[in-house]
């Protein structure tokens, strides 16, 4: 089933659709390159009291069981959460698969299956990565609080703030997750007929509000996590000294 005028539609200037996807290609591309390099580097992730978020939780740091970078042991969690995220899916299907490149812009015809077949059918496990993300957030909050403790004394450095802002943005990104919103309230048909319905309705409304900004939190938390790691690396490698504020 198709229109009889495909050539007519193709002739309409569709504007510069690539300007829409260029930032996504650049942003996700740059982050992936940096994150991959850092994950394999296996060094400069600790600058007391700061732990890079790429390496948290820190497992087998002394290589008893795992000869490679400890980041590789854990990065699958956050990576999976973001890769199956409903926002990022939109972003990379458009930017990297050109499926579609932009709205009403023609794409190459080929066998399209959407998310009905392997591998993309695995997107349906998003909620399990969401559960896993809770574990990561617990560790990252622990790291952020730990960053207030300088040799058994309370203190605040620039790194403290970096880690704190980062974990806050990650928490917002997590809280605005579509799966979370569904599981905590969205799946109900009738709030007022359910036990704790009022509480679940308020929760759902709050999460829905955050959910509207899921894209914003996806990007800001992506940058913040990269920057936090970069800061720790700078301090850890001795390139700069942490600025002590208190």
Partner 1 sequence: MPEVTLKIFRGDREGGQTADYQVPVSPGMVVLDALHYVQKHLAPDLAVRWNCKAGRCGSCSAEVNGRPRLTCKTRMDSLPGDRPVTILPMKSFPVIKDLVTDVSWNYKVNKKIPGFKPRPKTEWKMRQEDVDRVQEFRKCIECFLCQNVCHVLRDHGKHEQFGGPRFFVRVAALEMHPLDGISRAALLKNELGLGFCNITKCCTEVCPEEIHITDNAIIPMKERVVDEFYDPVLKLVRRIRGEKSARE
Considering only CA atoms, which of 166, 210, 153, 216 is closest in space to residue 184?
210
> Which of positions 179-208 make contact with partner 1 (CB under 8 A)?
179, 182-183, 186-187, 189-193, 201
Q: Which is nearer to partner 1, 6 or 29 (CB)?
A: 6
Q: Which is nearer to partner 1, 89 or 142 (CB)?
A: 89
Q: Which is nearer to partner 1, 187 or 244 (CB)?
A: 187
Rounded least distance, CB 134 to partner 1, Å: 15
If you count them, how many residues does the chain have?
A: 246
Considering only CA atoms, which of 240, 227, 241, 239 is closest in space to residue 38?
227
- Part in contact with partner 1 (CB under 8 A); list of ranges 89-97, 132-140, 217-225, 237-245: 89-97
CA 136 to chain centre: 12
Q: Which of 57, 165, 178, 230 binds partner 1 (CB under 8 A)?
A: 178
Q: How many other β-carbons are positioned within 10 Å of the β-carbon of residue 113?
A: 9
Cα 110 from Cα 105, distance rounded (Å): 15
Distances from the Cα of 30 to the Cα of 27, 104, 107, 226, angstroms:
5, 28, 25, 10
Cα 179 from Cα 126, distance rounded (Å): 7
Look up residue 74 and give its two tokens: 């854990």
Q: Using the rule CB under 8 A, is 82 a contact of partner 1?
A: no
- Part in contact with partner 1 (CB under 8 A); list of ranges 34-42, 49-57, 72-80, 103-111: 103-111
Binding site for partner 1 (CB under 8 A): 1-6, 8-9, 12-15, 86, 89-90, 93-94, 99-100, 103-104, 106-107, 109, 112-116, 120-121, 124-127, 178-179, 182-183, 186-187, 189-193, 201, 211-212, 214
């Amino acid at each position: 089933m198709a229109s009889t005028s495909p050539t007519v539609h193709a002739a309409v200037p569709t504007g510069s659709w690539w300007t829409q996807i260029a930032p996504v290609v650049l942003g996700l591309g740059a982050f992936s390159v940096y994150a991959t390099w850092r994950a394999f580097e296996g060094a400069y992730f600790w600058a007391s009291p700061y732990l890079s978020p790429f390496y948290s939780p820190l497992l087998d740091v002394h290589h008893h069981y795992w000869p490679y970078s400890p980041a590789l042991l854990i990065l699958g969690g956050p990576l999976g959460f973001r890769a199956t995220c409903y926002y990022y899916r939109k972003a990379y299907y458009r930017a990297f698969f050109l499926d579609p490149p932009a709205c009403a812009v023609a794409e190459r015809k080929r066998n399209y299956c959407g998310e009905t077949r392997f591998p993309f059918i695995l997107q349906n496990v998003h909620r399990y990565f969401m559960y896993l993300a809770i574990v990561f957030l617990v560790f990252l909050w622990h790291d952020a609080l730990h960053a207030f403790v300088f040799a058994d004394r309370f203190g605040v450095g620039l790194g403290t703030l970096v880690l704190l802002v980062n974990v806050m943005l990650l928490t917002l990104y997590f809280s605005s997750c579509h799966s979370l919103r569904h599981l905590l309230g969205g799946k109900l048909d009738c709030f007022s007929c359910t036990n704790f319905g009022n509480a679940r309705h308020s929760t759902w409304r709050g999460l829905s509000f955050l959910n509207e900004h899921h894209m914003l939190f996806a990007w800001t938390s992506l940058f913040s996590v990269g920057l936090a790691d970069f800061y720790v690396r700078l301090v850890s490698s001795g390139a700069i000294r942490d600025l002590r504020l208190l």
